[in-house]
Copies of this chain bind each other. A is one copy, B any other.
Amino acid sequence: MADSKKMVDQITSMNTDFAQWYTDVVKKAELVDYSGVKGCMVIRPYGYAIWENIRGILDAEFKKLGHENVYMPLFIPESLLKKEADHVAGFAPECAVVTVGGQQQLTERLFVRPTSETLFCEHYKNIIHSYRDLPKLYNQWCNVVRWEKTTRPFLRTSEFLWQEGHTMHETAEEARAETLRMLDVYTDFYEKSLALPVVRGRKTEKEKFAGAEETYTVEPMMHNGFALQGGTSHYFGDGFARAFGITFTGRDNSVRYPFQTSWGVSTRIIGAIIMSHGDDNGLVLPPAVAPIQVVIIPVAQHKPGVLEAASAVAAEIGKRFRVKLDDSEQSGGWKFAQYEMKGVPLRLEIGPRDIENGSCVLVSRVTREKRQVPLEGIADSVAAALDGVHDELYKRASDNLAARTSDALDYAQFLDVAERRSGFIRAMWCGDAECEDKIKNDTGGVKSRCIPFEEERLSDVCVCCGRPAKHMVVWGRQY
């Protein structure tokens, strides 16, 4: 027990040092371990179980919409990566490169995939010949590598896990619709499964994906006001198709290029969950992705009937929820702290007095509110309480997003807000990348998040240069 007790040591307070708080939580909630491999993390069972739940929900959504999973090679030959000029320029600098295989120097260098557009294109060239072969709606779940100098678990690692959808369509309209449809899937997932509101919009030219015509993004706000690029969806037009020579015979018998999209989310999502919902007692997990949704803690478990009653409740609600009954010899206080640290959304306490009353106690991880509920119909009470946890998380995140979003009408105001508090700034923009660069430099890191779908005309001129404004942009610091 002495060993285990160390696990409930205090973690650094969020307000004292947010970065250290994050590091403490990922370690003490046993989500990751650092590895001896530079920039790579070990995802421990509890962290991986969150990813499995994320994957399960998204995969089912993708399949409902007709997407099919495939698996492409890990390696991209240098010549293949080079086929699309913007793409190679964007990604080659951050690649890990295999130069030796089977003890032989390779004649062509192999890039460990940082993303797989080029591999999908090579395959699509083989299998797309007629309009009847379209659309192709493929997705893959895999690992990718992008070399990083400074890393942080989940948020920025040299290797990470993700899904990448790659689709091919007969017309530009269809491909554009797919791009936005998948952004909707991500939005729904953030809101309904992760209890996180997002800002949605289009990336500026400067921030878009290497090789894409348009990049769309969903961006939740972290507790400290930073943004996190939560998921992106790209419209490629027929650029890659032309570069790779992918053609099909259209309905009118003419030879055409198909139109392409790609879209992805990664294990960064877990970083977003931690940073937006967590508190000074540790992790707080949205019920939909929590590995344990309800932990049952028997009170005075040595007394007759307690463990039996706890087991009966576990069996009952275990039919509908992911439940853990902790009947170990640890103290109640240790258990409470332990499962709070692990962010279990709901605690169910049951002791001799509860059993007498035919009831038990439900405690929300978010509000820490205790509520006595009858054992009769307990599964429905648990369902309602979990919904309550979700709703409260969503409300708090929405409040945070609203409280930390400011408008800036002129540059002095912009710089003032950027300096005073962390959050999103809504401001008009001329459309010029020079203003993005200037803002980033002047603020030490505030970047355009996106041109939101819901734009307002806050003023007629760019907040930075004073020239005529083209768009409203949401600005913010990012992880």
Interface residues of A (CB under 8 A from B): 3-4, 33, 35-37, 40-45, 48-49, 51-52, 68-77, 80, 93-103, 109-110, 112, 119, 122-123, 126-127, 129-130, 132-133, 138, 142-143, 145, 147-149, 158-159, 161
Contact = CB atoms under 8 A, between A and B. Distances in A.
Nearest to A145: B74
Contact of A98 (B97, B103, B122): B97
A67 to B, nearest CB: 9
Contacts of A98: 96-99, 112
Contacts of A74: 40, 112, 143, 145, 159
B147 A101 contact: yes
B35 A122 contact: yes
Contact of A110 (B69, B96, B127): B96
A302 B36 CA distance: 65
A100 B102 contact: no
Contact of A93 (B42, B103, B127, B130): B103
Given A42-B70, A42-B72, A97-B98, 6 more contacts: A3-B130, A35-B72, A37-B77, A42-B123, A45-B70, A51-B71
B103 A96 contact: no
A11 B431 CA distance: 59
B69 A45 contact: yes
Contact of A101 (B3, B4, B36, B97): B97
Nearest to A147: B102
A71 to B, nearest CB: 4
11 contacts: A36-B80, A37-B76, A40-B75, A45-B138, A97-B98, A97-B100, A98-B99, A98-B112, A99-B100, A101-B147, A142-B143
A133 to B, nearest CB: 8
B35 A119 contact: yes
Nearest to A43: B71
Contacts of A43: 70-71
A214 B8 CA distance: 40
A189 to B, nearest CB: 20
Nearest to A3: B130
A73 B41 contact: yes
A283 to B, nearest CB: 18
Contacts of A159: 73-75
Contact of A71 (B48, B73, B109, B148): B48
Nearest to A98: B96
Contacts of A71: 42-43, 48, 51, 161
A132 B3 contact: yes
Nearest to A129: B3
The 6 A-B residue pairs with the shortest CB-CB distance in the complex, in nearest-first order: A102-B147, A40-B73, A45-B68, A97-B100, A43-B71, A37-B73
B123 A35 contact: yes
Contacts of A138: 45
Contacts of A122: 35-36
A117 B80 CA distance: 33
Given A43-B71, A161-B71, A33 B102 contact: no
Nearest to A112: B98
A159 to B, nearest CB: 5
Contacts of A149: 102
Nearest to A45: B68
A115 to B, nearest CB: 15
A101 B103 CA distance: 19
A48 B69 contact: yes
A101 B48 CA distance: 26
Contacts of A112: 74, 98, 112
- Which of A73, A76, A149 has the largest count of B CB atoms less than 10 A from its CB? A73
Contacts of A52: 69
Contacts of A35: 72-73, 119, 122-123
Contact of A42 (B4, B73, B129): B73
A207 to B, nearest CB: 21
A37 to B, nearest CB: 4
A161 B140 CA distance: 13
A41 B71 CA distance: 8
Given A77-B36, A99-B99, A70 B44 contact: yes
A41 B80 CA distance: 15
Contacts of A129: 3
Nearest to A158: B101
Contacts of A95: 101-102
